[in-house]
Amino acid sequence: GNSVTQMEGPVTLSEEAFLTINCTYTATGYPSLFWYVQYPGEGLQLLLKATKADDKGSNKGFEATYRKETTSFHLEKGSVQVSDSAVYFCALSLANTGKLIFGQGTTLQVKP
Amino acid sequence: DGGITQSPKYLFRKEGQNVTLSCEQNLNHDAMYWYRQDPGQGLRLIYYSQIVNDFQKGDIAEGYSVSREKKESFPLTVTSAQKNPTAFYLCASSEQGNNYGYTFGSGTRLTVV
């Protein structure tokens, strides 16, 4: 079946540290891949996306590359800030319906 | 600006009561979705609708009901049959096709008192 697996959190980093949040997927066909961010008490916001293999999505210093050979879409940022503290969700979009399948979410805590 | 609006932001329900959560979008999106999120948990799909006057059950539809009479609106009713309704409810909408992702509302926090 179709599924998304994220690394378990919480991930705790000091300000300016390098961030990686792992995401792997299982899917039939050719899904699009997404990262969403959720700040406390709010809805989810689209952070970045990639629609085909080898595409790199980027936004606000975050990047993720669609790796078909390893079925991965890891989220990276070179230097995190306290304001990046949030829950991050990886998701895939089914080719035939557009419906999203979400991972469980990874909590990031950045300390000053 | 186009967007998706959920109301109210906070809602309190007495045991045995039905309550309805509002979700309205002006993005001209065909598809709409309702998710439930429990503390420290991921998202669980309750219902979704890909076109007006049609909707499908998600993974946890028991104790919930929806309607889709207008493209812009997808209200969710939490019935008394839902035994543990305290949660954060998120509504989302999307265009058809798999490249667009979802636009989310800001959520409604429902508490049973």
pLDDT band at B111 (very low <50, low <70, confident <90, very high): very high
- What pLDDT score does A104 carry? 94
What is the DSSP code (8-state) at residue A80? -
B90 at A interface, C-beta within 8 A: yes
**Pick from B102, B91, B109: which is nearest to B45 by CA?**
B91
Whether the Cβ atoms of residue A63 and residue A47 lie closer than 8 Å to each other = no
Interatomic CA distance for residues A107 and A86, integer angstroms: 6
- What pLDDT score does B48 carry? 95
Are the Cβ atoms of A98 and B97 closer than 8 angstroms? yes
List, in order, residues 6 or more apart from B30 with CB less than 8 Å away.
B50, B51, B71, B94, B95, B96
B60 at A interface, C-beta within 8 A: no
Are the Cβ atoms of B100 and A97 closer than 8 angstroms? no
Check whether B59 has a pLDDT greater than 70.
yes
Interatomic CA distance for residues B13 and B66, integer angstroms: 18
List chain B residues with CB under 8 Å of A49.
99, 101
Q: What is the pLDDT of residues B1-43, one digit of tens each?
A: 679 999 999 999 998 899 999 999 999 999 999 999 998 788 9
pLDDT band at B99 (very low <50, low <70, confident <90, very high): confident
Interatomic CA distance for residues A54 and A2, integer angstroms: 20
Are the Cβ atoms of B106 and A43 closer than 8 angstroms? yes
> Using CB atoms, which residue from B98, B103, B107 is nearest to A95?
B98
- What pLDDT score does B113 carry? 86
Q: What is the pLDDT of residues A65-105, one digit of tens each?
A: 999 999 999 999 999 999 999 999 999 997 777 788 999 99
Check whether A39 has a pLDDT greater than 90.
yes
